Structure 1
Amino acid sequence: MRFFDLAAAGMFLLASTAFASPANPQNGVDYVTLSQAQPVQTTGKKVEVIEFFMYHCPVCNAIEPMLEDWIRKQGDRIAVRRVHFPSTGPADPEAHLYLTLEALGKVDEMHAKVFKAVHVERIRLNKDDAIIDWVAKNGIDRATFVNAWNSFGVTTRLRQLGKVTASYGVDSAPALVVDGRYLTSPSTVNVGLKTNNRDELFRATLQVADGLVAKVAQAK
């Protein structure tokens, strides 16, 4: 698994002739339609949005505040799920951390703290013991966390993450999948946008997501 490198992509994409239109997203330019739609976990009028991310990914960290603001503005229109790509395989420590926090209902409390620990405080959370020690120092009972970490439900989901991610065709982070059908990401959007301005790219990516959510909602 790789993360999107804006500077490198900007140099590479200067030769691209694709035309980006984030306000009116174009299939094959601003997003791709999956060859096989995946089941969604929403019912009624809500549109499912899945964020694929990695805690150590600098672009994932950079887009997170803007993404959180976008989610708040969407309100009840969407239901958001997060999937941490297992970049080191079926025992990926960061993915294991996220799934354990999710099982404990601690994502809202801890998600931003993990990003800060990795990218601001420069704490390496890439080993099981380091993660457990860090969590214990940040307000979660060690025994409770370890029990969830080792639970059948968490370990089973961890082993399945590779297949889950492959089923959505995700090969870089961050990425968004709307309604189990439409995949977009900063790297996809920048093929046509051709910008080295990070915030401009993030805004354009979320504008594409806006369009995809509206497209799905209109058809419900």
Structure 2
Amino acid sequence: MMPLINRLTLLFLIATSQTLYAAEWGEGYDPVDPPVATSVADGKVEVLEFFWYGCPHCYHMEPDLESWLKAKPENVEFVRVPAPLNSRWTAHAQFFYTAEILGLTEKLHTPLFAAIHDKKRKIYDKNALIDFAVEQGVDKEKFTEAWNSFGVYVKVQNAKKLGQRYQLDGVPAIAVNGKYLTSGSRAGSYSKMFEIVSQLVAGENVKPAQ
């Protein structure tokens, strides 16, 4: 029988090797464990962007994101997810999904980012967000009705669940096909982060040998 000291040493070595393996697994991204089920069709690769309108890093990342989107592979299905990690973030998630349901994402998404970060406006609660939409030429009654709709509620709840499943601890973050999570802090820069996203997408495009 193995002496106690030898068994303890062996256990320590195993634990150490596992820790090192985890630390070295991937450079600039982490595996999602367990993987998160995606909602895309076969042959598609899902790429999610988790963001918050009040996050300056999310706003500053937008040009890099737009550049990447222009060159992304055709089979990538990109989805923005406004991470509702607290009550203030939840109001912004409701704004995003209200705009989405009404087909107003292009009209309202970038202007809200700019108003908060360039103009330093405090647009964080329901009333301020609805008033902002009205300033952009949106009908107040229609926007308010959509804001209070069950459809928007469901989308916000699903966004909350996604954040929990990805064990999200901050934004901006990019998830690839339910398997990997990267961010500017993990990668070192946004340009490097999108290089990593492209590499991960390419890996998902490789079909296993028959």
- Please state which band the TM-score falls in when normalised by the shorter chain: 0.7 to 0.9
User: Which amino acid letter does the alignment assign opposite residue 69 of structure 1?
Assistant: S
In the alignment, which of 13, 29, 32 is matched to residue 31 of structure 1?
Answer: 29
1:212 match: 200
Alpha-carbon shift at residue 159 of structure 1 (Å)? 3.5
SS in 2 for 1:183: strand
Structure 2: which 5+ runs fail to align? 1-19
Q: How does 1:69-148 map to 2 (within 5 A)?
A: 69-89=67-87, 92-148=90-146
SS in 2 for 1:41: coil
TM score, norm. by length of structure 2: 0.82
2:64 match: 66
1:157 match: 155
Distance in 2 between residues matched to 1:74 and 1:144, nearest whole Å: 34
Q: Relative CO higher for 1 or 2, CA cutoff 8 Å, sep ≥ 6?
A: 1
Alpha-carbon shift at residue 144 of structure 1 (Å)? 0.9
Alpha-carbon shift at residue 170 of structure 1 (Å)? 1.5
1:97-144 superposed Cα distances (whole Å, 9 cap, x missing partner)? 111111112112221111111111112111111111110110211111
Alpha-carbon shift at residue 59 of structure 1 (Å)? 0.5
**Distance of aligned partners of 1:170 and 1:120 in 2 relative to their CA distance in 1, 3 Å threshold:** same
Aligned-residue sequence identity (percent) comes to 31
1:26-50 superposed Cα distances (whole Å, 9 cap, x missing partner)? 7343111111111212213221100
1:197 match: none
User: Which amino acid letter does the alignment assign opposite residue 64 of structure 2?
Assistant: M
SS in 2 for 1:92: helix
User: Which amino acid letter does the alignment assign opposite residue 205 of structure 2?
Assistant: A
Alpha-carbon shift at residue 172 of structure 1 (Å)? 1.1
Conservation of the 8 A alpha-carbon contact between 1:90 and 1:161? no
Q: Give the root-mean-square deviation of aligned CA atoms.
A: 1.9
Conservation of the 8 A alpha-carbon contact between 2:93 and 2:156? yes
User: Which amino acid letter does the alignment assign opposite residue 118 of structure 2?
Assistant: V
Conservation of the 8 A alpha-carbon contact between 2:68 and 2:194? yes
Distance in 2 between residues matched to 1:60 and 1:51, nearest whole Å: 10
SS in 1 for 2:103: coil
SS in 2 for 1:219: coil
Conservation of the 8 A alpha-carbon contact between 2:83 and 2:89? no
Distance in 1 between residues matched to 2:40 and 2:65, nearest whole Å: 20
- Paired positions, count: 186
1:171 match: 169
Conservation of the 8 A alpha-carbon contact between 1:132 and 1:142? yes
1:191-219 superposed Cα distances (whole Å, 9 cap, x missing partner)? xxxxxxxxxx1110110001001000113
Conservation of the 8 A alpha-carbon contact between 1:90 and 1:160? no
User: Which amino acid letter does the alignment assign opposite residue 215 of structure 1?
Assistant: G
User: Which amino acid letter does the alignment assign opposite residue 111 of structure 2?
Assistant: K
TM score, norm. by length of structure 1: 0.79
Alpha-carbon shift at residue 163 of structure 1 (Å)? 2.3
Residue 202 (1) aligns with residue 166 (2) = no
User: Which amino acid letter does the alignment assign opposite residue 211 of structure 1?
Assistant: Q
User: Which amino acid letter does the alignment assign opposite residue 121 of structure 1?
Assistant: K
Runs ≥4 in structure 1, deviation > 4 angstroms?
none
SS in 2 for 1:170: coil
SS in 1 for 2:72: helix
Conservation of the 8 A alpha-carbon contact between 1:33 and 1:181? yes
